[in-house]
Structure 1
């Protein structure tokens, strides 16, 4: 299979499958790094390159497959991605199971930093977009 065709298959099938559901969870740096690592593994496999060949990631993305740099990281941090799911949940009626589950208060924990939750991600994104948060 030609390398350009592999790049097109990756864009249309693999990327959406990897990104499916990311708007529903609070993205941490650990998640971001794992997605980036998996993306590069797929691209190296498609290009027929191993890590032992010591080929840079930028070269694999640009020269071989003609892809944008670090697309998955940008897409996971894009606040519109989470806002789309937030709007979808807010438009549901009050008896919906997802809406009821999101209304359950967070569990408390001991000292230290609080857990990163989906609601904190939504609150940060709303603040960045200068919008008002709707409550249940």
Structure 2
């Protein structure tokens, strides 16, 4: 985070148990996290020394969602770290996740900024067919059912998938690679009205 000048980072698969916060590193970073099982899941948000004292609220939902609200100047900024159920898990688990995401979004006033950083475990694909308003047209691969859920969620809340909005080399689009398997499953979402402040994303 220091080397890449990242002020706030969303983490998934942390595998830390509990609903806690703690200082990390030697430079004043603070981590808020939630988790149930040391073997799987868990999410967190790390905030650097410049912004950790701006945090005014933290919400947690089991081991897949955590939201941190900051007040920076006149802006209220909501950062949500999300870890969607993997392909192969039951439809009821997937539905609960998206219902919980709906709950978080509905609790955020429209005049507050939202940034979602998540491992959403879905392929939105290279094509933005039917979702031109939220998909920037620079995705990867083919869309699947889980990707359809991501795009429908984004459409419902007028969110832009920021890392489909910039033309990139394939290596900067792919977020998971193992052998011959490559995919783009990690996304950064924000309100479409804030598109202008997204200068780049990979």
Q: TM-score, normalization: structure 1?
A: 0.28
If you compute each CA radius of gyration, which structure gives the higher value, 1 or 2?
Answer: 1
Name whichever structure is richer in helix by fraction: 1
State the structure with bigger RCO (CA 8 A, min sep 6), 1 or 2. Answer: 1
